[in-house]
Amino acid sequence: MVMAEEEESGVSIQLEFPKGRVKKIMALDKDVKRVSSEALFLVSRSTELFLQFLAEKSAQVAIEKKRKTVNLEHIREAVKRHQPTRDFLLDELPPPSQPTKPDRPTQPAGRPKLDPPPRGTRRIDLFFRKPELDDPAQAQPPENPAQAQPPENPDQDQAQSPVPVDES
């Protein structure tokens, strides 16, 4: 349905933006349950005013810089000059100079894992520490001689068990 344009003292109520699109954008806010038709109308109209305002300011910036083409920098400058607009919009604008992201991810170079030496191989560092192990004070423990004596009576030996008997 095309809304009839009613001109009274130059005030037009015909909308520039499609209603469905504006409504869809408003509905992106999860808290918004329902929107009356007049609210939809007012948001659409105020957005037009905002666009006209920002376009005008951007054009002024472009003229100051003696440019005929309005570009991103001029829009950013216009946003900065208006406090309410800057409050909600400056963070949304792309940064002035976009830094190039590193292509390759940074990986810490790890040391190659050393394979454990084969079994039975002595560590090479022991050879260098060998002089330190020469301790003349260290003596070997005395070896106790075996006190076991063969039985004297061969006859009893054959009759009794081979376990040696305590003679004490």
Partner 1 sequence: MDQDEQDRALPIANVSRIMKQILPPSAKISKEGKQVMQECVTEFISFVTGEASDKCHKENRKTVNGDDICWALSSLGFDNYAEAIGRYLHKYRQAEREKINHDKKYENPHINRAPPPPLLLSRVTRDKVENPPPSPPNQSG
* Shortest spacing between CB 103 and partner 1, in angstroms: 24
Question: Minimum distance from CB of 46 to partner 1 (Å)?
Answer: 5
132-161 binders of partner 1 (CB under 8 A) = none
Minimum distance, C-beta of residue 81 to partner 1, in the bound complex (Å)? 13
Nearest 5°: the CA angle 135, 136, 140 is 95
CA-based Rg of the chain, rounded to a whole angstrom? 49
The answer to whether the CB of 44 falls within 8 A of the CB of 23 is no
User: How crowded is the C-beta side of 105, counted as CA atoms within 13 Å?
Assistant: 1
List the one residue from 19, 65, 72, 151 that touches partner 1 (CB under 8 A). 72
CA distance 57 to 131: 88
Reported residue count of the chain is 168
Q: Which of 2, 10, 33, 154 binds partner 1 (CB under 8 A)?
A: 33
* Binding footprint of partner 1 on the chain (CB under 8 A): 1, 6, 8, 11, 13, 16-18, 21-22, 24-26, 28-29, 31-39, 41-43, 45-52, 54-56, 58-59, 62, 68-72, 74-75, 79, 83-84, 87-89, 92-94
